[in-house]
Amino acid sequence: MAFAVGLAACGGGSNGEDGGLDALGQPCTFVFDCPAGYACVRGACVPGGDVGPGTDADADGEEDGADGEGGIDGDGGSPDSEVGPDGDGDGDLDGDGGGDVEDGLDGGPDTCAPAGSDGPRGGGEPTCLFRPPPGNFEPVLECAWRGSTYQPERNDVVMTPVVANLTDDNGDGCINTNDVPDIAFVSYDLEGAGCCNQPGTLRVVSGECLPDGTMFEHYSVSSPVLSNSAGLAVGDIDGDGLPEIVAMQHTTGTVAFEHDGTVKWTNADPQGADADGGGRDPYPSLADLDADGIGEVIVGRVVIDGATGRTKWRGSAGIGRNSFLGLMSTAADIDLDGRPEVIAGATAYRADGRVLWRYDYGDGGANDGFATVANFDADPEAEIAIIRAANIGSAGSLFLLDHRGTLLQRIPIPWDSTACASNEGGPPTIADFDGDGRPEIGVAASTRYAVFDLDCLGDPVPAGCADNGVLWAVPNNDCSSRTTGSAVFDFDGDGASEVVYNDERYFRIFRGADGEELVRIRNCSHTRVEYPVIADVDNDGNAEIVFIENSHNCTGEDVAGIQVWGDAEDRWVPTRRIWNQHTYHITNVEEDGRLPVRERPNWLVPGFNNFRQNLPDFSPFAAPDLTVESVRGDRTSCPDTLLVYARVCNRGDVRVGSGVRVRFYLGADPSAATEMACSPVSTAGVLYPDRCETLLCRWDGPPIEPETGRITVCADDDDGDCAGTGANNECNEGNNSLVSPDLSCSPLG
């Protein structure tokens, strides 16, 4: 096994108790490259985890801990022994027995802090709100992973990434939502090996972008060899409180990795008939089928024990395949009897593997389809929406079954047969596309992306509909697989979802109500069943989009890897920090990666009734409110140096990510004042509601005369204009600054 590890951590402010700053910024690869009491952060030594990235304690004008290049293990990918995310396997980045509490000023042993939460203190509806202006949609590239120093030729991606917290980034000894989410995916060598069913390497990168627009790679794993175009799933499958990664092996079988990339178990299943003669692009799903606190891994009609890797059962009917791709299954309690079923194509299995029912298409076709679950009528039980074509090369349809397996509707997928000879259709997505309070079904096929709406059924076709049962259908380009997926998200919180989709040539965003193309970005792929995902990948309180790319159809262009996109003006609403599997549907996983013992039916949760859509956990318009609550000076080193500490707080209702710019100005009027040499400084950690962080600005040569040392500190001050709105949209932009008392080195001060 080749196992390359990169290390990352975040800290708070400095307590000045580390005996000087001589080692600050010293290059490092592991924590043990630094002196005692120091941590290795982004390739540079920082004191005890207490001065993190964004703190300019050495007054060099650059953020400390960001000087090094970061990246992966400098040994070029040779095996490492039991190395976890902090480099020495003990989970304690700063060596003091734990992480650092709120401000990093404790100076003593630490304990794992509970995960922060959004929303008003004491509960209730948020009162700190920001409503994005309607009609503005301006996505920008935030960062990209273009390849690694380990197996650099494997830099193409053609599978759906997953997002979850896999590393202890803040050094508190825990992996939870206080940390920065990570993105896991499988990469391969398109040019050297070919497009499909090729050897792949597991990559795990931080969702937090580096200043140069690249992404920090935590580790890569190349053994066991993975299938390049199969899927991943992430969740706590053994009940130990930590997430695991489940992947599909290159030839056949399943493998589980611990959160740090070490192999947990391997299993030869699915194989043979269960894998359809090899299993082309299977995508695993996770669920606790027997409510025992231990997750099960579901691959088609095979169920594996998450803790041991032992096969629990193999079904005898559907496998969840369309065209030549799959396997893909999901779990849900469709009949509300208190026990989940496994839905594989047109078969519902009981939790113990017995067939509950199987729908017979009646045409003898080899495919049984891609299934999703939601509620489309007045009863509380679920319906199953399936996209299926009888065989490879035939035309697909939407099949809607009730919870007993009875056919309710069949609607053909729109297509242009002159442009593409086949039209099987990809995994369906369910959401309220048009804001009418009822779910619709989105499907990508060979020449059209279509949205099915049961309100459009009728003869004649109801007004505003494109066809019988079809709300709208717009052109796309996917004659290769004809089975790509898609995701949806309500970026501006107006109640209608936007479609996020990638075909052979473009990354696209369609308006959910009518299919108008809002965004088209050149992005190439030979396509399988992959799709972009939407999550808060950097823990900044706003949604981002993650999508893949490979160089197919883009000969001569430098395209590969994954990209992270956000809104140029910080207008996209908050969302969850997880998207853990292809069949994601919110209630299938907690935000910290735990699997619910008894999953709530998604369709019965108000505001949900969706599939492959992310939503905020409470209010889409909840906003932060950044303030500077105190400024104090430490005169210990006067008259040469005065240490200025500014306490920055978030008094809003949603978190703000690390990197909030804080500027220090000489004088009481920042518009007429000079910015200090030690400014700007950036916050190192996530600021949850009612959380604070203390930042250090080292003032060399401070004034001696009394009443000459007043300064103004401004939070969220990106452009040096204290009166501006900053990078974060807040509910109150007028309380971001504070004028200090006299901080001169006068003995009278």
pLDDT (average), residues 700-719: 88
Give the per-residue pLDDT at 323: 86
Give the per-residue pLDDT at 140: 96
Give the per-residue pLDDT at 558: 63
pLDDT (average), residues 3-8: 35
Contacts of 61 (CB under 8 A, 6+ apart): 677, 678
Residue in 38, 86, 94, 98 with CA at minimum distance from that of residue 64: 38
pLDDT of 246 higher than 70: yes
Radius of gyration of the chain (CA): 27
| Weakest mean pLDDT among 220-229, 561-570, 607-616, 718-727 | 718-727
pLDDT of 723 higher than 50: yes
Rounded mean pLDDT of the chain? Answer: 85
Highest mean pLDDT: which range of 41-50, 63-72, 350-359: 350-359
Give the separation between CA 343 and CA 330, rounded to whole angstroms: 5
Question: What does the pLDDT look like over 401-426, one tens digit per residue?
Answer: 999 999 999 999 999 999 898 889 99
Q: Are the C-beta atoms of 232 and 184 separated by less than 8 Å?
A: yes
> What percent of the chain shows pLDDT beyond 70?
83
The sign one gets for the Cα dihedral 711, 716, 720, 722 is: negative
Contacts of 421 (CB under 8 A, 6+ apart): 393, 479
pLDDT (average), residues 133-161: 92
pLDDT bucket at 21, cuts 50 / 70 / 90: very low
CATH code linked to domain 140-604: 2.130.10.10
pLDDT of 122 higher than 70: no
pLDDT bucket at 28, cuts 50 / 70 / 90: low
| DSSP-H helix ranges across 288-342 | none
Give the per-residue pLDDT at 45: 62
Give the per-residue pLDDT at 7: 27
pLDDT (average), residues 446-455: 96
Give the separation between CA 10 and CA 685, rounded to whole angstroms: 6
pLDDT of 94 higher than 50: no
Give the separation between CA 682 and CA 646, rounded to whole angstroms: 11
Give the per-residue pLDDT at 44: 61
CA-to-CA separations, 319 to 105, 252, 283, 347, 410, in angstroms, rounded: 56, 15, 11, 8, 21
pLDDT (average), residues 258-281: 86
pLDDT bucket at 386, cuts 50 / 70 / 90: very high
pLDDT of 80 higher than 70: no
pLDDT bucket at 25, cuts 50 / 70 / 90: low
> Cα 709–711–717 angle (5° rounding)?
160
pLDDT of 279 higher than 80: no
Give the per-residue pLDDT at 673: 77
Q: Are the C-beta atoms of 388 and 394 separated by less than 8 Å?
A: no
Residue position matching structure tokens 């080292």:
698
Token pair in block for residue 18: 């580390």
| Weakest mean pLDDT among 24-38, 380-394, 667-681, 690-704 | 24-38
CA-to-CA separations, 493 to 454, 488, 497, in angstroms, rounded: 24, 12, 8
pLDDT (average), residues 210-220: 97
Residue with the larger pLDDT of the pair 18 and 331: 331
Sequential DSSP letters for 100-161 = --TTS---S---PPPPP--S-TTSS---SB-PPPTT---EEEEEEE---SSSTT--B--S--
pLDDT of 116 higher than 50: yes
| Weakest mean pLDDT among 83-92, 146-155, 225-234, 310-319 | 83-92
Residue position matching structure tokens 């047109």:
346
pLDDT of 278 higher than 80: no
pLDDT of 662 higher than 50: yes
| Weakest mean pLDDT among 153-157, 259-263, 320-324, 550-554 | 550-554
DSSP summary character for residue 552: T
pLDDT bucket at 660, cuts 50 / 70 / 90: very high
Sequential DSSP letters for 708-742 = ---EEEEES-SSS-TTS--SS--S-SS--EEE---
pLDDT bucket at 125, cuts 50 / 70 / 90: confident
Sheet containing strand 397-401, strands side by side? 370-374, 383-388, 397-401, 407-412
Give the per-residue pLDDT at 82: 27
pLDDT (average), residues 259-265: 98
- Max CA-CA distance within the chain? 93
pLDDT of 4 higher than 80: no
> Cα 490–495–496 angle (5° rounding)?
65
> What percent of the chain shows pLDDT beyond 90?
65
Residue with the larger pLDDT of the pair 195 and 655: 655
Q: Any idea where the domains of the chain sit in the sequence? A: 1-113, 140-604, 626-739
Question: What does the pLDDT look like over 343-376, one tens digit per residue?
Answer: 999 999 999 999 999 999 999 999 999 999 999 9
Residue with the larger pLDDT of the pair 518 and 281: 518
Please state, as a whole number, how many other Cβ atoms lie within 10 Å of the Cβ of residue 221: 26
pLDDT of 113 higher than 80: no
Give the per-residue pLDDT at 237: 99
Q: Which fold has domain 626-739?
A: Immunoglobulin-like (2.60.40)
pLDDT (average), residues 322-326: 86
140-604 and 626-739 in the same fold? no
Give the separation between CA 160 and CA 584, rounded to whole angstroms: 11
